[in-house]
Chain A
């Protein structure tokens, strides 16, 4: 059941109506209902995989309690170890088993040894990378003493499987989302309206921008040998916008949906393509994952508080490489992560206090020439790295990049219609870059607001791609 389907619209309507008509006391009733709805939502793909969520949730719920009660440090470490092994074991098996088998065979073959291991052609359960990280953060935070475990299994299970963010995030922390399951909820019309606005905006980005760019991207990437260099750069640009609108569109719909039920999810995107350096980009792109890796990988490795710069650099590179590997069992993702790590090194030298955080050119219509240069530079670097992300294999990526350098620059551009989509999203995002989402237009008079909502709805209906186009991040 994907957010861009009719069946989800019907499901959402029913769940919304029932949820707000359930009694607020005891709290467990609404949580149990959300849990049931979330399991139906997830089981719609393949009910067999519900077992995995149940295993993850049960293990971490019990481990959380045991961790808290454990007296010795050794026992605590053992419990954490069990949680890590179970969660990462399941994730590793379903996501990486075949990759490791194939890679091992290729390596042995490269050194002249013949090996014939069997792959299992395992189907990746949708959202497994997201909910695994969510449950892991729960046990790690208890281990660190940052949170205390819950005694309420229903609330905990609902937290792990909360349907708006179950399959592609934002990856929530227990400290932020779990307490919301213990709040008495009253329907807040303004919050719900804002949720709907954000859903509308997410749907627009997905169906009008991303899905209309997808056919161009597919054509250019799958037949790159036949295209001249400018077309390949156009393909790179289109993919940069496609993946942004696809993924941030999903996040918008997830956050908006949660708001209909009175929940606030973490922000996941903050106009990343207006970043002035790579560091800023990673604080604005897939924020829930970036901060997860920062808190649970980078800092435990020593972060920037290391004795040598080399060690600091290796922490950065390792964190980015693991982050790349999280995305998928393919060397392209590993290399994409590594490349971003390399990009990150120069700004990291400036130290944390130098990080750009404020909205670019706030209060001004245009950026300064320097800001403009910085934004363009960051965008080009990131877009170049997306080639690795989009390519189906490492040789494919290398072939694509090589072809940019070796093919003709004089042939005319084709598939330029997509540039309108690119322009549209950049202009709207730029104008509204100080808002949570571009449809945060509550200061406008009602007729103007409704005019904008109608315009976006009409674009979705008449320009948006019909039919079900899966979200890119569902494969992770």
Chain B
């Protein structure tokens, strides 16, 4: 019924002599893939995207000037980069959490600025916090004196994240990771950017030393202190037109109103995850660390939408009222969730519905230091200096503008 496709009985001489012509044909067939692959690998190495996060971090930290790390063609493996950063810097003041704490900067802690590191982006859910606590307790990570933990409301929800990514390995060592990078780089615009990045060694506008295509072309990435720099074009855009824009896609207000993604239904509290967070923070605190639970702010627009959403109301209120009380009952200090209006600011101090600017977050850090107990390590920070930094901020989104931006604005 189904004839065998074993074709003729042509036999070849044994050993290499027999299989070499076969092999030769395969090599000829594969040669275009091999050549293109090698060229792309070389380009990725030149841009810095191919550097392992540890290697890039070591290079960045050893640099004598400010340096920006922003790869584009491998997915954002903040976990490896930030864990390496914590180990390298051995900070006394460490902030961790999602991208919503990434704007806390070393300059806010003068004269302890060298004692600070921002691990923002390291934690995405309650499982990550638990894994982080295990690493701290197991001495896989150095113990800080002060730990500021950004806790997002969705960490308390059922079904938000199922595992931790803190133990993920570097995808630069996986074949699939490279295939994914090739797929991205071969897209039209990306190819142009990668090509330009092979010969650009400084970020645009701020002119930092730059590692990775995003850092070299868009000027975005992580500074040496672990804080994140938004693309300078965002600041330029603000200078041209100083209004609030929600730069997330889809905008946070839409996600809240349409109950999508982080705000999807059913928005129920997962007691197990709440317990996990409390336990993790308590265990770290018991090691003698000052722990501050930091509830990152929302834009006034997003905050109001959360207040007005009947579907999300129960979860939101728990996060806003009961959860802080629970933390305080475990002797953990809380910086409550806020919105700019509470600090006499407006939404232009937000990059989008849930990412505060460094100026806004400086207000929150100031409040945190003010409220810290007298014995706190944070009391060594010069509040006057921080107040001055806030006061002298160039725009609501940033303390400083790069020279080119100033020139643009003055023009």
**Do A and B make up one complex?**
yes
Q: Which residues of B contact A (CB under 8 A)?
A: 1-12, 14-16, 18-19, 21-22, 25-26, 29, 32-33, 174-177, 179-180, 182-183, 186
Say yes or no for A375: interface residue by CB 8 A criterion. no
Q: Chain B residues with Cβ under 8 A from A270's Cβ? A: 2
A440 in contact (CB, < 8 A): yes
Closest 3 CB pairs of A and B: A466-B176, A6-B175, A186-B11
Distance of A461 Cα from B184 Cα, bound (Å): 12
Interface centre among B174, B176, B186 (most CB of A within 10 A): B176
Closest chain A CB from B18 CB (angstroms): 4
Pick the residue among A190, A453, A468 that contacts B10 (CB under 8 A). A190
Stretch from A41-49, A191-199, A395-403 contacting the other chain: A191-199
Closest to A5 in B: B175
Contact across chains for A186 and B175 when beta carbons are under 8 A apart: no
Structural contact, B12 and A436, CB atoms closer than 8 A: no
Minimum C-beta distance from B362 to chain A (A): 41
Chain B: CB-nearest residue to A188: B11
Contact B2 A20 (CB under 8 A): no
Distance, CA A6 to CA B37, complexed state (A): 15
13 A-B Cβ contacts within 8 A? A6-B175, A20-B15, A186-B14, A188-B11, A188-B12, A189-B10, A189-B21, A191-B6, A192-B19, A192-B22, A193-B22, A461-B33, A461-B182
Q: State whether A440 touches B19 (Cβ < 8 A).
A: no
Q: Give the chain A neighbours of B33 by CB distance below 8 A.
A: 457, 461
| Contact across chains for A194 and B5 when beta carbons are under 8 A apart | yes
- Of all chain A residues, the one with the shortest Cβ separation from B21 is A189
Q: In whole angstroms, what is the CA distance A6 to B173 when docked?
A: 11
CA distance A20 to B16 in the complex (A): 8
Please name 13 further chain A to chain B contacts, defined as beta carbons within 8 Å, in addition to the given A264-B6, A466-B177, A466-B180, sorted by A numbering.
Answer: A5-B175, A6-B175, A17-B19, A24-B14, A187-B11, A189-B12, A190-B10, A192-B22, A194-B5, A357-B1, A436-B3, A453-B29, A467-B176
| CB-based contact A466/B4 at 8 Å | no
Which residue of B5, B10, B14 is within 8 Å of A440 (Cβ)?
Answer: B5
How far does the alpha carbon of A457 sit from the alpha carbon of B36 in the complex, in Å? 14
A468–B179 CA distance with the chains assembled, in angstroms:
13
Known contacts A187-B22, A191-B7, A193-B22; decide if A20 and B14 are in contact (CB<8 Å): yes
Chain A: minimal CB distance from B165 (Å): 14
Interface string of A5-17 (1 = CB under 8 A from B): 1100000000011
CB of A308 closer than 8 Å to a CB of B: no
Please tell me if the beta carbons of B4 and A186 are within 8 angstroms of each other in the complex: no
CB of A462 within 8 Å of the partner chain: yes
CB A12 to nearest CB in B, in angstroms, measures 12
- Tell me how far the C-beta of B37 lies from the nearest C-beta in chain A, rounded to whole angstroms: 10
Query: In the complex, A304 Cα to B167 Cα: how many Å?
Result: 58
Give the shortest distance, in Å, between B258 (CB) and chain A (any CB): 15
Q: How far is the CB of B14 from chain A (nearest CB, A)?
A: 6
Quick check: B176 and A468 within 8 Å, CB to CB?
Answer: yes
In the complex, A312 has a CB within 8 A of chain B: no
Residue in contact with A21 in the complex, picked from B4, B9, B16, CB distance below 8 Å: B16
With the chains together, A447 CA to B88 CA distance in Å? 56
Q: Is the CB of B179 within 8 A of A461?
A: yes
Question: Which listed residue, A187, A436, A442, A467, touches B18 by the CB 8 Å rule?
Answer: A187
Residue contact B1 to A466, C-beta cutoff 8 Å: no
Separation of A75 and B219 alpha carbons in the complex (Å): 82
Known pairs A20-B19, A21-B15, A462-B183; A188 contacts B4 (CB<8 A):
no
Q: Cβ of B14 and Cβ of A194 under 8 Å apart?
A: no
In the bound complex, what is the Cα–Cα distance between A21 and B15 (angstroms)?
4
Interface string of A424-464 (1 = CB under 8 A from B): 00000000000111001010000000100110010001100
Say whether B7 contacts A190, CB under 8 Å: yes
Chain A residues within 8 Å of B15, by CB: 20-21
Q: Does A173 contact B (CB under 8 A)?
A: no
Which of A358, A454, A457 is close to B1, meaning CB atoms less than 8 Å apart? A358
Interface presence of A206 (CB below 8 A): no
Residues of A174-226 whose CB lies within 8 A of B: 186-194, 196
Contact (A196, B5) CB under 8 Å given A187-B11, A466-B176: no
Please report the C-alpha to C-alpha distance between residue A187 and residue B20 in the assembled complex, in whole angstroms.
11
A54: shortest Cβ distance to chain B, in Å?
Answer: 31
Shortest Cβ distance from A198 into B: residue? B5
Closest to B25 in A: A193
Q: Which of A264, A457, A468 is in CB contact (< 8 Å) with B4?
A: A264
Q: Is A267 an interface residue, CB under 8 A from the partner? A: yes
Contacts of B16 in A (CB 8 A): 21
Partner of A466 from the list B10, B179, B186 (CB cut-off 8 Å) is B179
A435 to B4, CA, bound (A): 9
When distances are taken between beta carbons in the complex, the residues of chain B under 8 Å from A437 are 5
Decide: A188 and B1 in contact? CB cutoff 8 A.
no
The distance in angstroms between the C-alpha atoms of A27 and B95, with both chains bound, is: 66
Instruction: Say whether B4 contacts A436, CB under 8 Å.
Output: yes
The smallest beta-carbon distance between B74 and chain A, in angstroms, is 12
Nearest CB in chain B: distance from A24 CB, A? 6
Across the interface, do B7 and A187 meet the contact criterion of CB distance under 8 Å? Answer: no
Q: What is the bound-complex CA distance between A187 and B14, given in angstroms?
A: 7
Q: When chains A and B are docked, how far (Å) is the Cα of A444 from the Cα of B267?
A: 59
B173 to chain A, nearest CB (A): 11
CA–CA, A454 and B176, complex, Å: 19
Q: Which residues of B contact A450 (CB under 8 A)?
A: 29
Q: Which chain A residues in 1-53 approach chain B with CB under 8 Å?
A: 5-6, 16-17, 20-21, 23-24
Q: Taking the nearest CB of chain B, how far is it from the CB of A405, in angstroms?
A: 25
Q: Report how far A151 CA is from B183 CA in the complex, Å.
A: 53
How many Å from the CB of A355 to the closest CB on chain B? Answer: 11
Residues of the A chain whose Cβ atoms lie less than 8 Å from the Cβ of B6 = 191, 194, 259, 264
Selected contact of A187 from candidates B12, B177, B180, CB within 8 Å: B12
Q: Is the CB–CB distance between B19 and A187 below 8 Å?
A: yes
- Are A189 and B4 in touch, CB under 8 angstroms? no
Cα-based distance from A17 to B174 in the complex (angstroms): 24
Most chain B CB neighbours (cut-off 10 Å) among A190, A442, A450 = A190
